[in-house]
Amino acid sequence: MKYAFFPGCSLESTARSFDLSTRAVCRALGIALEEIPDWTCCGSTPAHATSDSLAVALPTRNLQKAQAMGLPVMVACASCYARLRTANHRVSSDPEDRRRAERITGRPYDGGVLVRHVLDVLVNHFGPDAIRAKVCRPLSGLRVACYYGCLLTRPPEVVAFDDAEHPASMDALATAAGAEPVEWPFKTECCGAALSMTHPGVVGRLAHKLLTMAEAAGADCLAVACPLCHINLDLRQADAAKRHGAFRPTPVLYVTQLLGLALGLPAKDLGLDAPTVAAVAPPAKHGAGATAILGGKP
C-alpha cells in the first residue's frame, strides 16, 4: 500500500518525533509514503480564524498536488487532517466554494482525493491483527490512556473514521502492541489546543483535568495522535501542577512511538528523546514493568 504523505508544519518542527515515528512504523509495516512535493501549510487554525477563502484554498492546493500523484493522502497531524478533510467536504458539496478555491489556486479540483489519518490507515487499512503479528516486543504490563482530543472525531460528518463520542481505534492499536488501554471518560475532552499561546492558564487547567483523570484511571502513560495535544499535555505538566495541584508526572507519547517500541524499532528512530516528561513511568503498582518498556531504569 502507498500513500501521498502530507507532513504539515508541526511535524517539521515541534512534532518532529511524530514525523520520525510515523515514517519508521510505516517502513516497518511495509506502508510506502511518498511526500507530497512542494507542499505548503494547510492554514491550520490561523487561516480558518481569519480568512475563509484561504481556509479552503490552502489545503486544496496540497490536495491538487496529491491528485497529480494519483495517490490517496495520509496525514499524521490531527489539525492538518481536519483542514484537508474540511476542504474536501466544502469543495465537493458547495459549488461556490469549489469555484473560489479553483480561482485562488488556478487549478481544477473536485474534492475527490481520499484523505486518511494515520490511525485510520493503521486500523482500517493495515489492521490490528496484521500489526499484532509483527510485534516482537509486546508492551505487556503497560497501561495506556488513549487520548483522541477534539479534531479526530468531530464533526463526524466531515472527519470521522471512528465513533465521535467513544472512539476506539487507538485503543485497538495499543492492544495490538500488547499494552492495556484503560477505561477513562476524557478521551475526547479538549486540551485547549492553540489557546496554549494566548490563554496558557486555560490550557493548564484543562491539562490538569486530563492528566489527573488519567492518573486516577491507573494509566502509566498517555498516547496521543495530535501535535497540539502532545505539547499541551507534555510541556504544560509542571505549570499545571504548580497552579492546580500536584499529580504524578506522566509520560505523553505519540501512538506511533508506542507501536514502534512494540515493533522493536530503536528509540532514536522514534524520537523518544523529545518529550519534556521523560518516557519513564513513575513508581506505581505498574511502575517497574512500564519503566522497563519505556526505556528507563526501574
Per-residue pLDDT of the chain (298 residues; tens, 9 = 90+): 899 999 999 999 999 999 999 999 999 999 999 999 999 999 987 887 789 999 999 999 999 999 999 999 999 999 999 999 999 999 999 999 999 999 999 999 999 999 999 999 999 999 999 999 999 999 999 999 999 999 999 999 999 899 999 999 999 999 999 999 999 999 999 999 888 778 889 999 999 999 999 999 999 999 999 999 999 999 999 999 999 999 999 999 999 999 999 999 999 999 998 777 766 545 455 554 455 566 554 3
Which residues have a Cβ under 8 Å from the Cβ of 282 and sit 6 or more positions away?
248, 249, 250
**Which grid coordinates are listed for 184?**
477513562
Q: pTM value?
A: 0.94
The pLDDT score that the predictor gives to residue 165 is 92
d(CA 284, CA 246): 16
Beta strands in the chain (DSSP E): 2-6, 32-35, 73-75, 115-117, 143-146, 180-181, 221-224, 252-254
Name the helix (H) or strand (E) containing 21: helix 16-29
Q: Where in the chain is the domain with CATH 3.40.50.11810?
A: 137-293
pLDDT at site 110: 97
So what's the architecture of 2-118 in CATH?
Up-down Bundle (1.20)
* CATH number of this structure's domain 137-293, picked from the four choices 3.20.20.70, 3.40.50.1980, 3.40.50.1000, 3.40.50.11810: 3.40.50.11810
User: What pLDDT, on the 0 to 100 scale, is given for residue 144?
Assistant: 98
Is 66 in contact with 4 (CB distance < 8 Å)? yes
* φ/ψ of residue 116, rounded to 5: -125, 145
CB 227 within 8 A of CB 18: yes
What's the confidence (pLDDT) of residue 298? 36
Cell of 10: 508541526
Q: Where in the chain is the domain with CATH 1.20.1050.140?
A: 2-118
